[in-house]
């Protein structure tokens, strides 16, 4: 009968606080458990603590990955355990920072680290460096033909990672402004210059454009060049 004491070496006994009794922080291997009651009657039990499985966490990516500014990369880790908790560092640029799987869309080169803990309190981590190519992927055609055939009828700004076309201006060869617009998103086929001034078609020729773009990360980018209007 109780109270009961236990020992793993048969010499030093400790009080059993209650059943079931947990013996934490034991290394893997074989043990002989000695249990003794109030009458000093002792029984033994052979125990085996198995080798703990090695935690594995893998992004299945290279140590360094490169994306264009405005693009994103899916962080989809694989692991061989039941996660109890996880933490992303940093969280800036992550679409779902509270999830194990998320897209990362940083605006500058960033090293992301994922730390996960299993139900036994063991911790494992993985990291990846996402290099951002900050060359803005913007395209403005070098020529367009506003003849109403449905192809290249407008001079449109195309690109990725552009939050807003703040200003888009066109000038003739004498420096006169012939078109101005702004406050819209890129890649819109209905926004851009149609080759007209005050509702009248302009003659074929070379014109100069200037645009200010606001990127998804808040940066502003100026773009200028020449375009050929064809008739």
CATH number of the domain residue 175 falls in: 2.60.40.1220
Global pTM exceeds 0.75: no
Range of the domain at 172: 138-229
Q: Classify residue 104 as exposed, middle or buried by CB count within 10 Å of its CB (0-12, 13-18, 19+).
A: buried
Q: Are residues 109 and 186 in the same domain?
A: no
Is the Cβ–Cβ distance between 97 and 88 less than 8 Å?
A: yes
Q: 133, 164, 180 — which closes off a domain?
A: 133
100 and 62 co-located in one domain: yes
Number of domains making up the chain:
3
Q: Which of 133, 155, 180 is the last residue of a domain?
A: 133
Could you read off the pLDDT tens digit of each residue along the chain, which spans 231 residues? 678 898 988 888 888 887 787 777 788 889 999 998 888 888 999 988 887 778 999 999 999 999 988 788 999 999 999 999 999 999 999 999 999 999 999 988 999 999 999 998 889 999 999 999 877 789 999 999 999 888 899 999 999 888 899 999 999 999 999 999 999 999 999 999 999 999 999 999 999 999 999 887 677 889 999 999 998
Whether residues 143 and 215 fall in one domain: yes
Nearest to 118 by CA among 151, 84, 91, 142: 84
Residues 39 and 23 in one domain: yes
Please give the pLDDT value at position 39: 85
């Amino acid at each position: 009968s109780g109270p009961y004491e236990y020992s793993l070496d048969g010499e030093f006994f400790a009080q059993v606080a209650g059943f079931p009794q947990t013996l934490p922080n034991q290394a893997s291997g074989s043990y002989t458990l000695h249990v003794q009651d109030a009458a000093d009657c002792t029984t033994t039990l052979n125990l085996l603590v198995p080798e703990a499985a090695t935690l594995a966490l893998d992004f299945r990516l290279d140590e360094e990955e490169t994306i264009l500014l405005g693009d994103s990369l899916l962080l989809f880790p694989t692991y061989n355990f039941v996660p109890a908790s996880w933490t992303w560092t940093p969280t800036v640029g992550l679409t779902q920072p509270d999830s194990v799987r998320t897209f990362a869309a940083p605006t500058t080169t960033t090293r992301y680290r994922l730390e996960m803990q299993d139900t036994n309190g063991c911790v494992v981590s993985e990291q990846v460096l996402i290099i951002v190519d900050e060359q803005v992927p913007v395209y403005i055609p070098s020529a367009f033909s506003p003849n109403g055939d449905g192809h290249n009828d407008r001079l449109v700004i195309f690109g990725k990672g552009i939050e807003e076309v703040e200003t888009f201006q066109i000038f003739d060869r004498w420096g006169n402004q012939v078109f101005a617009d702004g406050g819209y998103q890129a890649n819109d086929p209905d926004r851009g210059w149609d080759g007209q001034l005050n509702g009248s078609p302009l003659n074929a020729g070379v014109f100069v454009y200037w645009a200010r773009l606001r990127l998804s990360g808040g940066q502003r980018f100026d773009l200028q060049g020449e375009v050929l209007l064809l008739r």
